Structure 1
Amino acid sequence: MEQLIELSPTEIKLAFVASCIEGTARRLGKSYQEIYARMKSVGMIANYILPNYEVLVTILFSALTRIATQHIFAP
């Protein structure tokens, strides 16, 4: 039987930050290192993403379920 690994809340938040950085880098055609450095230099990670984690996850979940529902029931 497969054994599951339980992540701490901090690890989950850091994975979310990493996905934000990687998604932004992909969208802009930049390296994740450059985007991380830019986000860090303007305080985006420490002052926006991490403090607003719960709200951001809720918004993203809501948007994802709306998009999925539209595609599932699209004619």
Structure 2
Amino acid sequence: MSNSGECSAEQPQPEPSMVYAEKLRQWRETVLEANRQFELAMQVAEESGVNSGEIRSKRGLLMMVNGCVEMMGAPNCSS
């Protein structure tokens, strides 16, 4: 009888905090890239004559999102 269904060699599991940190880094990069693309789209819209008040409100929202992403992606600082 064979034990082919069992895996006796234990592979080291990555530290949960390291897995979380990597996922957070990937998420942060994705969000910031999407925000850069959104900023470019707003510039094009602004140059084409779209309502500047609407662009300003969206730019404010974008800045707020970027700030939140930066805070969430920052390493934990404790004194």
TM-score by length of 2: 0.33
**Which gives a bigger RCO, structure 1 or 2 (Cα 8 Å, sep 6+)?**
2
Structure 1 or 2, whichever has the larger Rg, is: 2
**Larger fraction in helix:** 1
